Every structure is written in structure tokens, then in C-alpha cells.
């Protein structure tokens, strides 16, 4: 089926091209802050929603229709592909992803299999097709968790504060660590390529927790794997976005990788990232907590970020991390419209 014509402002900004206004989307825009979604969630779990393409496409589309954002992000979790390689993950309410038989040794890593997206996660691909062939008028962002962040759940057995077990494994069994990084890189590459074949127009790699490592360890234990992932995905010709939390010290490392967009959390101002020599497209970075403030505060902070971001082409407005469940959807709607209007006026007067 012929694809619908889409608004490509977001894709242009990813590629560093001139745009009429600053494009915007929000991490975790689809889901918990939306009343329509919460009503669905009373009946179905994350797992059940993602297994029903019509329903999953509806949840993915909701924020696009309600907030007028410039990109959609597929509703699913970074854990979604893991059962395909033999990881028994359960999303526990109020806790997050939990794995009962965590990775302890090389033997556990050798047991991990490979993903065949067409047979293991057909529902993800069907949802992407439905959205991109029939429904969306903006690009769909596909995504994967990065090896460190996925490994942290697989080794800790669940969410962690300090990643002690993960680090202990990495430092004491480097051979096994790299074998695990390779398996997860392989999985991510195959999974992302299938998402692109199905219609995803950009890819975000979430290395949410890698900021727990220092720069030297990132270079030794993580960067070679990330080089491989981005190099292999580069040929797919869709923009590649990197994101992590508390990782300002790694922003330059990410910028070295063959990717298009560096995502910033709220700790590193956009102007400072530019002064550090980050010339690629930047995405971010309103502190998601600001969204719980009165509109005047939100507007003032958004304006300050836009003034920095608009200093050059290649800027995408976003939050510094995901939308909190308590956020009023009205604030997101107003914010989108503010980002669009303010940047349109500024671009015209330039
Ligand atoms: C920490 C956690 C994870 N997974 C989960 C948690 C528990 C806490 C939480 O609800 O936030 C469980 C989870 N993840 C998701 C749900 C569905 C309900 C909901 O929307 O909150 C649930 C229950 C959607 C999701 N989970 C994710 C997305 C996609 C990203 C996006 O929409 O921007 C969605 C819809 C991605 C995800 N998922 C996870 C990480 C580290 C990331 C990367 C982004 C980040 O750093 O927050 C692991």
C-alpha cells in the first residue's frame, strides 16, 4: 500500500536541515499521563496492549492527535524483544521490569538465543505497518534499549539504584561481559532493522542508565558495541538518535559515534553542549518535573531552552526524560503549541 504523505519537519531537523519551526515530541508521550490510556490500562496490561496492533496503534496515535506533536513513538517497552532471546521478563506494577533468573555467568549468556522479529514480535511490526501505511501524518520513531541498559535489568534482576551487580560482572568477567554486549547488539540491530522495514522513519536508542559509568569505562566496555550498532544501522538511512539520563559526561562520546542526534537530559544546557563542540542535531531538554508547575513557569523555561536550541539548525524540542503520570495533558498541548508558535516567529524574523 502507498504510504501517506507525512510532515517531515522532525526528520529534517534530525538531519540538521533548515525547518520552518522547531519540531517537538515528548518521551513517554504515549501512555500513563493520558486519561484515555488509563481507562484502557484498567482492562489490559502493557503486554496485552502491545499484542493487539489496533489498540497499540490507537495508544501510539493519541498524543499525536491530542498534542499536535511532530513525531509518534511506538508504544512498547525496551523489554519487549527480550523474551524472544529467552529472557523471562515480567513488568510488575509499581516496580518495573523484573527477571526471576538473572544472568550470573558465561553459561547463562551462551543460552541466550537470537531474535527473528517476523515470527517473535509480529505484533510490533503489524502495529508499525498499520500506523505508517494508514494512520499517521507524522513520522514514527522506532526504538530499542541499548546493551548496557538491557544488561542492567538482566543482571540485577530488576530496576537498580547503583548497578553494583552489573558493574561487578563487567569488571570481573570482561570476557563474558563482551559476549553479552555482542548478543544484545545483535538482537538490537536485527530488531531495529525489522522496525525500519515495517515503516519506522527514525530510531532512538535508549541507554537510559549508562550514565552510571565514567568516561574511561564507557570507552572500554560500551563504546565499541555502540560503534558496531550505529555503524550497522547507518546503512538503513534513517536518522539515529541516542539518549541516556545523567550522562552529560558521555555526550561527547555519543557525538563521536556514527549517529545523527544527541539527546540531552535536563542537566546539560543546550548552549553548553554546543560550546563543548557538539555540532550534530540536539534533542531535549526540559526537566519533566517543570511540567508539574504553573503554565508561566513552563513557558519561561521552554523559552529559555528554545533560545539556545534555535541558535543553529538541527534542534528538536523534547523533555529531558519521560512524561510523569501526574502531568496534565493540557500542559503538553499548550507546550507544543508554544514551541511551534515561538519558533515560527523567531525563524521568520531571522
Ligand atoms: C523503568 C521501567 C522500564 N519499563 C517499565 C519501567 C517502570 C517504570 C515506568 O513505568 O516508567 C515498565 C513500563 N514501561 C512502559 C509501561 C506502560 C505504562 C506506561 O506508559 O507507563 C510500563 C508499565 C511503557 C514504556 N517504556 C518505554 C517506552 C518508550 C519510550 C517512550 O515512549 O518515549 C514506553 C511507552 C521505554 C523504557 N522502558 C524502560 C526504560 C529504561 C525505557 C527507556 C526510556 C526511559 O529511560 O524511561 C524500562
Domains of the chain: 9-349 (3.20.20.210)
C-alpha angle 245-249-254 in degrees, rounded to nearest 5: 80
Q: Measured between alpha carbons, how far is 78 from 150 in angstroms, rounded to an integer?
A: 8
Average pLDDT over residues 54-82: 98
Residues with CB under 6 A from ligand 1: 27-28, 30-32, 46, 73, 75, 77-78, 91, 96-97, 149, 159, 206, 208, 245, 322
Task: Give the nearest ligand 1 atom to 206 CA.
Answer: 43
Best mutation site among 322, 326, 329 for ligand 1, i.e. most ligand atoms within 8 A of its Cβ? Answer: 322
Q: Measured between alpha carbons, how far is 11 from 72 in angstroms, rounded to an integer?
A: 12
Q: Can you say which residues are annotated as belonging to the binding site?
A: 28-32, 47, 77, 153, 208, 321
Question: Do residues 265 and 306 touch, judged by C-beta distance below 8 A?
Answer: no
3-state class of 343 per DSSP?
helix
Which among 82, 148, 154 has a CA at the least distance from the CA of 115? 82
Q: pLDDT tier at 5 (50, 70, 90 boundaries)?
A: confident
Ordered DSSP codes for 73-100 = E-S--TTTTGGGGT--EEEETTTEEEES
pLDDT of residue 219: 98
Q: Measured between alpha carbons, how far is 189 from 195 in angstroms, rounded to an integer?
A: 10
pLDDT of residue 1: 53
Q: What is the ipTM of this complex?
A: 0.91
Best mutation site among 28, 51, 263 for ligand 1, i.e. most ligand atoms within 8 A of its Cβ? Answer: 28
pLDDT above 70 (res 263): yes
**Percent of the chain residues past pLDDT 90, beyond the cut:** 97
Mind listing the pLDDT tens digit for each residue in 237-260? 999 999 999 999 999 999 999 999
pLDDT above 80 (res 2): no
Average pLDDT over residues 178-199: 98
pLDDT above 80 (res 235): yes
pLDDT above 90 (res 350): no
Amino acid at each position: 500500500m502507498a504510504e501517506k504523505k507525512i510532515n517531515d519537519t522532525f526528520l529534517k531537523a534530525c538531519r540538521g536541515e533548515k525547518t520552518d519551526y522547531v519540531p517537538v515530541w515528548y518521551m513517554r508521550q504515549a501512555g500513563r499521563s493520558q486519561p484515555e490510556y488509563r481507562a484502557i490500562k484498567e482492562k489490559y496490561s502493557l503486554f496485552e496492549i502491545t499484542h493487539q496492533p489496533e489498540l497499540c496503534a490507537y495508544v501510539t496515535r493519541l498524543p499525536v492527535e491530542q498534542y499536535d506533536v511532530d513525531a509518534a513513538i511506538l508504544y512498547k517497552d525496551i523489554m519487549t524483544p527480550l523474551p524472544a532471546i529467552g529472557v523471562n521478563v515480567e513488568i510488575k506494577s509499581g516496580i518495573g521490569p523484573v527477571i526471576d533468573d538473572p544472568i550470573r555467568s558465561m553459561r547463562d549468556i551462551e543460552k541466550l538465543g537470537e531474535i527473528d522479529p517476523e515470527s517473535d514480535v509480529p505484533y510490533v511490526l503489524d502495529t508499525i505497518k498499520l500506523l505508517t501505511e494508514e494512520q499517521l501524518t507524522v513520522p514514527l520513531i522506532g526504538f530499542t534499549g541499548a546493551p548496557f541498559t538491557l544488561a542492567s535489568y538482566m543482571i540485577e534482576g530488576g530496576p537498580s539504584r547503583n548497578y553494583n551487580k552489573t558493574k561487578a560482572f563487567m569488571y570481573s568477567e570482561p570476557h563474558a561481559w563482551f559476549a553479552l554486549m555482542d548478543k544484545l547488539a545483535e538482537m538490537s540491530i536485527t530488531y531495529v532493522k525489522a522496525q525500519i522495514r515495517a515503516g519506522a522513519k527514525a530510531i532512538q536508542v535508549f541507554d537510559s542508565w549508562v550514565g552510571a559509568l565514567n568516561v574511561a569505562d564507557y570507552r572500554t566496555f560500551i563504546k565499541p558495541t555502540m560503534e558496531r550498532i550505529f555503524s550497522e544501522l547507518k546503512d538503513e538511512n534513517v536518522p539515529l538518535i541516542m539518549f541516556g539520563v545523567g550522562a552529560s559526561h558521555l555526550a561527547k562520546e555519543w557525538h563521536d559515534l556514527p549517529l545523527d542526534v544527541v539527546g540531552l537530559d535536563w542537566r546539560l544546557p543546550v548552549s553548553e553542549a554546543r560550546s563543548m563542540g557538539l555540532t550534530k542535531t540536539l534533542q531535549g531538554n526540559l526537566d519533566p518535573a517543570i511540567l508539574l508547575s504553573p503554565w508561566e513557569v513552563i513557558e519561561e523555561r521552554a523559552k529559555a531552552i528554545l533560545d539556545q536550541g534555535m541558535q543553529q539548525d538541527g534542534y528538536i524540542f523534547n523533555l529531558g526524560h519521560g512524561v510523569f503520570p501526574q502531568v496534565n495533558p493540557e500542559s503538553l498541548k499548550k507546550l507544543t503549541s508554544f514551541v511551534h508558535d515561538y519558533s515560527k516567529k523567531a525563524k521568520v524574523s531571522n
